[in-house]
Amino acid sequence: MPPSRALAGGVAFLSSAARGSRASTSALRQFTTTTTLPYKQPKGPATRELPIPSPSAQHPEIPAYPFGPRATYKQSNKGLYGSASIRFGNNVSEKYNVKTRRKWRPNVQTRRLYSESLGQMIRTRVTTRVLRTIDKVGGLDNYLLGTKTQRLKDLGPWGWRLRWRIMQTPKVRAMFAREREELGLPPQGAVQEFLPEGETAESLMRQTDEMLSREDEFEIGEQEADVHVDVVPDNFMAEEKRPSGAEVKNL
C-alpha cells in the first residue's frame, strides 16, 4: 500500500473517532444535572436594614419553630407546602391486577408573591393549594399571620421565618397595637408598670408555680373594709299559685 494512502486512512480513522467521542460526550451532557441554587430574594427599601431570612441559613435571632423541621419530604422545609407531601402507591392493571409501584408529587411552583407590609415581592416555592388559600384569605400577609394551630403547622420552618420577618415591620406592629387597644390591654412596653415594686415577671411566675405546687389559695385583689351587701329575701321571685277559671272571671 502506498504511504500516502495509509496516511489518509489513518487521518480518516482519527477524525471518525473524534466525532464519535464528541457525540458520546454531547449525549452524556444531556443527562447531567447541576445542583439547584437557592432562590435569591429581591431587594427593596423595606429590606435594606433587615433582609428577608434565608430558607436554609442559621438565624439565631428568629425564635425556633414550635413544631420543628419536617422529617419526611424535607424539601417542604424550604417552601410554603402546607400539609402536602409525596405519596406512594400502585398502578393496578385491569386485566391481570399487576401492581406497578408509583408516586404522586404535589404541584409545586416557584412564584413571586407580594407582601403589603414589606411593600415588595417575595420569591418562594409554593403549592397550588396554598396559592388558593392565600387568595381566599386576602394576601400573603394574612396567610402568614394566621393564629390557628393548623395554620402554624402548614407554614413550616420557612413560613415561620417569613412570619417573623413581616412582624418586624411598622405596619404590622401598628396593627397589633391597635388590636391591643381595642381589647382594652395596655401597650406592649407598659406591662412593667403594673408589676409590684421590686418584682419582675419571671419572679412572679416562679412564685405562682410554687403556690400551685403547694396547692395554696390565691387572694386576688384587696378586700375593702366597707362593703355593702344586699341581702335577698327568702320569698324573692317565689312561684305563685295559678288562678282558676272562676277567679279569672271575677277579675
* Predicted confidence (pLDDT) per residue in 179-202, tens digit: 989 988 888 766 555 666 777 777
81 neighbors 134 (Cβ within 8 angstroms)? no
DSSP secondary structure letter of residue 241: P
CATH number for the domain running over 79-182: 2.30.170.40
Q: Let me know if 79 is exposed, middle or buried by CB neighbors in 10 A (0-12, 13-18, 19+).
A: buried
Q: Let me know if 141 is exposed, middle or buried by CB neighbors in 10 A (0-12, 13-18, 19+).
A: buried
* Predicted confidence (pLDDT) per residue in 8-62, tens digit: 555 555 555 555 555 444 444 454 445 555 566 767 666 666 888 998 888 999 9
φ/ψ of 2, rounded to 5, equals -65, 150
Q: What is the mean pLDDT of residues 148-153?
A: 95
Please say if the pLDDT value at position 77 is more than 90.
yes
φ/ψ of 115, rounded to 5, equals -110, 120
- In this predicted structure, what is the pLDDT of residue 31? 46
Is this structure's pTM higher than 0.95? no
Domain ranges of the chain: 79-182
> Cα(41)–Cα(50) distance, rounded to whole angstroms?
13
DSSP track, 12-33: HHHHHHHHHHHHHHHHHHTT--
65 neighbors 157 (Cβ within 8 angstroms)? yes
In this structure, how many other beta carbons lie within 10 angstroms of the beta carbon of residue 137? Answer: 14
* Predicted confidence (pLDDT) per residue in 113-141, tens digit: 999 999 999 999 999 999 999 999 999 99
> Cα(7)–Cα(113) distance, rounded to whole angstroms?
66
